[in-house]
Amino acid sequence: VSGREHPSPTEGSKGAPDASVTPGAQSFPLDERAIKGLREAGRQWPQASGHREALQDALPVDPALEFTPHERHRSARFIHVTSARPRKDEDLEATPAGEEGESKADHVAYRLRRAVIGPPLRSTAVAAERMGKALALPVLSPDALSSVAYGPEAMMSILVLAGAAELRLSLILGAVIVLLMLAVGMGYRQVIKAYPHGGGSYIVASDTLGPVWGLIAGAGLTVDYIVTVAVSVASGVAAVTSAIPSLTSATVPIGLAMIVLLVAGNLRGAREAGAMFAAPTYMFIVAIFLVVIAGLLKSAGHSFHAVAPVPHAATEGLGVLLIMRAFSSGATAMTGIEVISNAVPVFQPPAAENARRTLSIMIALLVSMFIGVVLVAHFDGASPGGGQTVLSQIAHRSVGGGVLYGYVQLATTLVLLIAANSAFNGFPRLLYFMARDRFAPQAFLHMGDRLAFTSGIVVLAIPAALLYAAFGGRTDPLIPLFAVGVFVAFTLAQSAMVVHWVRNRGPGWRQGLAINLLGAVLSALVAVIAAITKFTSGAWVVVIVIPALVFVCRRIRRHYQMASDALSPRPVSPQDELQGICRPPTAHDIKRHAHARAGGEAGHASHLVIVPIATLDLAALRSLSYAASLSLPMLALHVSPSDEEAERFERYWREWGDHLPLEVISSPYRATLAPILNYIEALHQEHPEVTITVVVPELVVARAWHRLLHNRIAVRLHRALSHNEGIIVTSVPFQLPG
Amino acid sequence: VSGREHPSPTEGSKGAPDASVTPGAQSFPLDERAIKGLREAGRQWPQASGHREALQDALPVDPALEFTPHERHRSARFIHVTSARPRKDEDLEATPAGEEGESKADHVAYRLRRAVIGPPLRSTAVAAERMGKALALPVLSPDALSSVAYGPEAMMSILVLAGAAELRLSLILGAVIVLLMLAVGMGYRQVIKAYPHGGGSYIVASDTLGPVWGLIAGAGLTVDYIVTVAVSVASGVAAVTSAIPSLTSATVPIGLAMIVLLVAGNLRGAREAGAMFAAPTYMFIVAIFLVVIAGLLKSAGHSFHAVAPVPHAATEGLGVLLIMRAFSSGATAMTGIEVISNAVPVFQPPAAENARRTLSIMIALLVSMFIGVVLVAHFDGASPGGGQTVLSQIAHRSVGGGVLYGYVQLATTLVLLIAANSAFNGFPRLLYFMARDRFAPQAFLHMGDRLAFTSGIVVLAIPAALLYAAFGGRTDPLIPLFAVGVFVAFTLAQSAMVVHWVRNRGPGWRQGLAINLLGAVLSALVAVIAAITKFTSGAWVVVIVIPALVFVCRRIRRHYQMASDALSPRPVSPQDELQGICRPPTAHDIKRHAHARAGGEAGHASHLVIVPIATLDLAALRSLSYAASLSLPMLALHVSPSDEEAERFERYWREWGDHLPLEVISSPYRATLAPILNYIEALHQEHPEVTITVVVPELVVARAWHRLLHNRIAVRLHRALSHNEGIIVTSVPFQLPG
């Protein structure tokens, strides 16, 4: 049983889960039981009236940093703002400059970082980072649209194995794929309708079918996102190197440089990354329509008589297996359809409405471009192979070899490259949702100072770059890794919608049910076909990786669950009592406090104990108890990424009893470590005669890999503060179960 | 200027430096200035009479661990012993069992370790680990004697390049080398005479010529020791694989296994490693004499008419350069002559006398074996090449192909392998001396629980294994790395002796001067010849490595000097006063102590602050001040590897003023971390209601590589104690200058 309330997929069926991202998601709210525990733990503290106020008065420093002499100097790192929170009306706010180090090298690094990724954005700018339809379409659709450049060709290159004459089957298979596109696309329109706050395959499957199915969908998408980046970069680079053959030997470095560029672009944040990539998508749409319309007009001149393709000897007989292989290869043209339903909250309000419209436009574009390419290729008698892509062949016939041809090739190259960007949009969001459900490390909940999911972007780029480099930048061997994951995700999302309609039966549920059932059956069929026909050529990797990822996610969840249970506030246990360090101070300790205060006022160099606290959990309470039992002037410190979080923390603090002085620093740029360091160092510089002891709760994990799941702020604080001789760091260990 | 007195080479000329190794060498004594600083710092503490005794009475635990209920249980980790030290008559002593962990896996690992390297040895057993002449000869001579197996051949394989007829020059060159052996050997006899407490090239050159020359000699020997291990193992394995050709593909793994065996043998300690290797050396001496005598008798049958060697076409003309190359190759037969003078203290008393006699015996053996092999090879017309070693050729002719031949080959193989062992004897001692002079990391001063220099043994094995593996286990390409380093060391040692005689003019100084001057000139000649003639084939590496090592050693020394200056006790400075943490407690604090004590007696769960201290330096004083200023019951803790060290520490403690309760644990097996952990955990288990705060001085280094130069006990204690929830670790940082 969970010790805290959090949007677990097992609890999700109570209502539609929230698919928006919020900067404060790293600190989980406490559930009722934990709040009760907090209240009871607080009641055991001695209730001397006015004690907290006395403690506040005894502080040898001014916690609000309102010393005048150095204000101008320190104001670079903190400013005073008027707060709307009930507790008080003035507040310390960390400035972005606080993240800049003190040395010359730090200064240069900070400036460089700002130059590359732009100025920091406040948490409240999340809403402003939303996109209109005209921007959302080119940002979210390149993954789907660009597959027109390789989907038909992948299909035809299988068909041609049975002889050039069988290429005519591409019309029939193309029609089936278009049907599939419409079914799946309409299915995702239903998803947006049912989950108006957003919800990709992971959220929808978790919510309706249960967490394991959600994880399977999530794992499938994870594989797909990584392969998408590798394949898109590989085909983009291939287009460049076929234009400039002298660059061929530099295939891998060029691709890696492009991945770095994508990372940098995405670290700037979704909106700017979109703006960088909007133009090429529109260029590509125009290019394909240009080729298709010119091609059809030419064919109309020949009364739509198809040119016979270049003869090609059959190497395989035309059997069911070959047709199925061709079909599943062609179905790679469908990757990326789910991106929009995943990303509803990035749309400007009304988000769901805008997302549905954008999805419809995208499906319409995808279907017409796909039909057009398949048709024109048929009429032109285009045939895969011969050192030219099918798209290049029909472009040549439609628009000749001049400027227009160059434009088509350039647009294709660019759109393939930025198709990878869809993955950089989608994957960090997927990891965010999985981390919110505690199936992934909490680091993926953190939004960087540009509101981008730094960790998720990096975690996508590294395996994609490795995959790309491992295959030497070649596209072909990566294709079989492609289809299985994405169609597993499609199947689960559509199946979840079927269950959803059966359960909820809202208006128009029969129609929705029919659409999603068709989508589910067709998607499942493609997934099975792809897994079977491509098993030996690479799909087996995916078949192993998906269960492995599900296993790892469940282990992560189990650890967080144990940690949460262990940390959930509860009245002090006899065990804690025995260990003496969780025991609240006694009336006697309070007298000692008074004594210490008297000593402090007598002019001696005095002590200050600072307890930085992220969450008011058992580890924090233990640190507070220890610090209080030292009978020295003390101050608790909390850094909050948003006003809502600050308010919530102060509410918990009051529930506990408000026994100790507390200073809340708001950090609108979401840094945690830097404000704590700057605050402590500011106090130290102002009062070097005060010995500052920083008491930090330290989670001690039972296994090394568990360290990846916690932010290890104790270790980082220790390292950063050890360069300051007047500041002493004390770790209060809290052992997590194995 | 140094803040502490330590046997610096720059100060050494005041008297012969001590070349014996002592287990307590890791804690340096304080110099007069530091003791004065300590005394002044102590005077600033409040002089309330009876305060320390009151503090001792206020302890919530019994520092001597004399609680009865669990004594049997804990007695596994500590025992009470009667101490002869002035402070008190009973003492806690750490047992070897204290190093064993608590888990099943730890238990197995500990048993395995004991099975491999033997039971732990007490520090007082150092004297017992000494060798008689009959054991010292085979332990220290294989490096020198085994070179008879490859030295003559290396010389002849150069001569034969000028045609087989020129092999007769080997008699002349051999005579020159014998002269060189006698000169250098007698020179080292003088070294032992002048440095009766031991002193290899490093100590002698440092002491007389200055530290840089000592470092050059040390660096030369370092290269030589590493190459010796690689070459000896390579030629030993080659002998095995030429006997059993099917093992050839496993050359590298076999050699690495042999290096592991050598490491294990040496970790058991010098005496046992020697016993393991004594028999093969004697076998080899017998084998060579057998071959030589039988060969000479056969030649006598032919009236000493030399058989003409197999004709060999000349590929180079006979020039001065070729003769010099042949000479410097033959001179590799001299490697290892210095080992005995380096290791005087491992001899049983009278050590110098025994060492000189052993050296004389070794030189006599070496010279006669070398002459014998060269002569017999000449008479037999042996010629290098043809898939057989020269030694194998003459053995065949002398003793036929039967059992005796097999014996000769086996003995040669074994002695080559154990020649590597001389390096494992010599190199860790060299590093110990360099570390004592602060030119190498202090870790090399630590003797493991078998009194072996664990770090030195490992640091020799790793580069030797890498070198061996990098050259695929082949001997030839390693030979050019060989001669330069060792002859540089010879030259410096002999030159130092020349300076020594000129300065001191003791009895027989003229004769000594003549011998050493001859040795110096000849050695220098060989070093220059080797460097020039082998420069392009590998000697350039040595020419680069030696200055690089000297540079690194000087940087290390500079860091330690800075650290020592920074840490040297001195009266509290205004800066420390400002930072508040080095300020001694005030009379007011003492009153608070009394108050806290009253609280503790009132039955509340109470605190205990433990301050582990290695050296009474400024970092330690700062930790003590901080701990005392908390006004909680406290106890300082010192772990001492030997009684002398314990006595010295307690003397410093009294100089400082004996202001606080102190517990000294003697650790006769030289572990530091384990006794501290066991002591704290024993107190915690006995009094779980007491919150134990461990205040550890933490040296904060300015550069990452400086971490290698300190033992980082704060970090290790923190890591080990964090698994204990009732124990809190506080680090008091002490910043070392960059």
Q: Give a three-class secondary structure readout of B67-116.
A: CCCCHHHHCCCEEEEECCCCCCCEEEEECHHHHCCCCHHHHHHHHHHHHH
- The answer on pLDDT for A78 being more than 50 is yes
- The answer on pLDDT for B68 being more than 50 is no
The region of weakest confidence among A201-210, A621-630, B382-391 is B382-391
Cβ–Cβ below 8 Å for B599 and A579 = no
Residue A448: phi, psi to the nearest 5?
Answer: -65, 180
Q: How far apart are CA B67 and CA B588, in angstroms?
A: 33
Nearest CA in chain B to A581: B691
How confident is the model at residue A290, as a pLDDT?
A: 92
Position with higher pLDDT, B84 vs B308 = B308
Q: Which residues of A fall within a CB distance of 8 Å from B589?
A: 599, 604
User: Is B141 within 8 Å of B336 (Cβ atoms)?
Assistant: yes
How confident is the model at residue B404, as a pLDDT?
A: 85
Write out pLDDT tens, residues B473-511.
887 778 778 778 888 888 998 999 899 889 888 888 888
- The answer on pLDDT for A422 being more than 90 is no
Q: Which residues contact A29 (CB under 8 A, 6 or more apart)?
A: A4, A5, A6, A648
- The answer on pLDDT for B195 being more than 70 is yes
Cβ–Cβ below 8 Å for B688 and A726 = no
Where do runs of H (alpha helix) occur along A44-103? Answer: 51-58, 71-74
User: Is B665 within 8 Å of B78 (Cβ atoms)?
Assistant: yes
- The answer on pLDDT for A579 being more than 60 is no
The region of weakest confidence among A360-369, B174-183, B535-544 is B535-544
Average pLDDT of chain B, as a whole number:
81
How confident is the model at residue B86, as a pLDDT?
A: 60
pLDDT-above-70 percentage for chain B: 85
pLDDT-above-90 percentage for chain B: 18
- The answer on pLDDT for A336 being more than 50 is yes
Indicate the pLDDT class of residue A91, thresholds 50, 70 and 90: confident
How confident is the model at residue B601, as a pLDDT?
A: 45
How confident is the model at residue A256, as a pLDDT?
A: 92
Q: Please state, in angstroms and as integers, the Cα–Cα distance from residue B42 to each residue in A569, A570, B361, B653, following that order.
A: 46, 47, 57, 9
Indicate the pLDDT class of residue A86, thresholds 50, 70 and 90: low
Q: A92 pairs with which residues across the strands?
A: A80, A665
Write out pLDDT tens, residues A177-194.
999 899 889 888 888 888
Cβ–Cβ below 8 Å for B588 and A580 = no
User: Is A464 within 8 Å of A479 (Cβ atoms)?
Assistant: no
pLDDT-above-70 percentage for chain A: 85
- Measured in angstroms, the CA of B714 and the nearest CA of chain A are apart by 12
The region of weakest confidence among A609-618, B35-44, B56-65 is B56-65
Q: Please state, in angstroms and as integers, the Cα–Cα distance from residue A562 to each residue in A40, A214, A737, B572, B633, following that order.
A: 22, 21, 7, 49, 36
Most B-contacting residue of A567, A631, A689, A701 (CB-CB within 10 A), to test interface: A631
Write out pLDDT tens, residues B650-678.
888 988 888 888 988 888 888 888 889 88
Helix (H, G, I), strand (E, B) or coil at A20: coil
Write out pLDDT tens, residues B227-245.
889 988 888 887 777 667 7
Q: Which of A588, A589, A731 sits opposite B729 (nearest CB)?
A: A731
Please give the helix or strand (H or E) that residue A590 lies within, else none.
helix A587-601
Write out pLDDT tens, residues B617-646.
888 888 888 888 888 888 999 998 888 888
Q: Which residues of A fall within a CB distance of 8 Å from B629?
A: 607, 691
- Counting one residue from chain A and one from chain B, the pairs whose CB atoms sit within 8 A come to 127
- The answer on pLDDT for A83 being more than 70 is no
How confident is the model at residue B575, as a pLDDT?
A: 59
| Highest-confidence segment of A600-604, B41-45, B514-518 | B514-518
Write out pLDDT tens, residues B427-453.
888 899 899 999 999 888 888 777 778
Cβ–Cβ below 8 Å for A731 and B726 = no
How confident is the model at residue A212, as a pLDDT?
A: 93
Write out pLDDT tens, residues B552-593.
999 999 999 888 888 887 766 655 555 555 566 666 666 666
Q: Which residues of A fall within a CB distance of 8 Å from B572?
A: none
Q: Which residues of B fall within a CB distance of 8 Å from A629?
A: 607, 691
CA A17 to chain centre: 16
| Highest-confidence segment of B70-84, B125-139, B287-301 | B287-301
Nearest CA in chain A to B581: A691
How confident is the model at residue B288, as a pLDDT?
A: 93
Give the mean pLDDT of A314-325: 82
The counts of H helices and E strands in chain A are 27, 7
How confident is the model at residue A75, as a pLDDT?
A: 47
| Highest-confidence segment of A714-723, B168-177, B698-707 | B168-177
Amino acid occupying residue A515: I
Cβ–Cβ below 8 Å for B722 and A733 = yes
User: Is B48 within 8 Å of B587 (Cβ atoms)?
Assistant: yes
Centre a 10 Å sphere on the Cβ of residue A286 and count the other Cβ atoms it contains.
Answer: 13
| Highest-confidence segment of A171-175, B414-418, B663-667 | A171-175
A727-735 and B662-666: which strand pairing? unpaired
Q: How far apart are CA B361 and CA B197, in angstroms?
A: 20
Write out pLDDT tens, residues A41-76.
788 777 766 777 777 777 777 777 765 444 444 446
Position with higher pLDDT, B366 vs A567 = B366
How confident is the model at residue B89, as a pLDDT?
A: 57
Q: Which residues of A fall within a CB distance of 8 Å from B588?
A: 599, 602, 604
How confident is the model at residue A11, as a pLDDT?
A: 36
- The answer on pLDDT for A585 being more than 70 is no
How confident is the model at residue A12, as a pLDDT?
A: 36
How confident is the model at residue B76, as a pLDDT?
A: 63
- The answer on pLDDT for A365 being more than 90 is yes
User: Is A646 within 8 Å of A92 (Cβ atoms)?
Assistant: no
Average pLDDT of chain A, as a whole number:
81
Q: Which residues of A fall within a CB distance of 8 Å from B46?
A: none
Position with higher pLDDT, B596 vs A458 = A458
Helix (H, G, I), strand (E, B) or coil at A731: strand
DSSP string, B403-444: HHHHHHHHHHHHHHHHHHHHHHHHHHHHHHHHHHTTSS-GGG
Nearest CA in chain A to B730: A730
pTM value is 0.77
Cβ–Cβ below 8 Å for B730 and A733 = no
Cβ–Cβ below 8 Å for A605 and B577 = yes
Cβ–Cβ below 8 Å for B734 and A725 = yes
Amino acid occupying residue B77: R
Q: Which of A583, A605, A733 sits opposite B580 (nearest CB)?
A: A605
Nearest CA in chain A to B588: A599
Q: Which residues of A fall within a CB distance of 8 Å from B731?
A: 718, 722, 728-730
Position with higher pLDDT, B439 vs B58 = B439
Q: Which of A580, A606, A728 sits opposite B691 (nearest CB)?
A: A580
The region of weakest confidence among A653-657, B318-322, B572-576, B637-641 is B572-576
- Measured in angstroms, the CA of B72 and the nearest CA of chain A are apart by 23
- The answer on pLDDT for B75 being more than 50 is no
How confident is the model at residue A600, as a pLDDT?
A: 46
Cβ–Cβ below 8 Å for B579 and A691 = yes
- The answer on pLDDT for B71 being more than 50 is no
Give the mean pLDDT of B382-398: 80
Position with higher pLDDT, A576 vs A414 = A414
- The answer on pLDDT for A718 being more than 50 is yes
Q: Please state, in angstroms and as integers, the Cα–Cα distance from residue A308 to each residue in A167, A248, A374, A379, following that order.
A: 10, 33, 15, 8
Q: Which of B626, B688, B729 sits opposite A579 (nearest CB)?
A: B688
Q: Which of A722, A730, A735 sits opposite B723 (nearest CB)?
A: A735
Write out pLDDT tens, residues B463-472.
999 999 988 8
Q: How far apart are CA B562 and CA B38, in angstroms?
A: 19
What are the b/e assignments for A217-253, b being 16+ CB within 10 Å?
bbbbbbbbbbbbbbbbbbbbbbbbbbeeeeeeeebbe
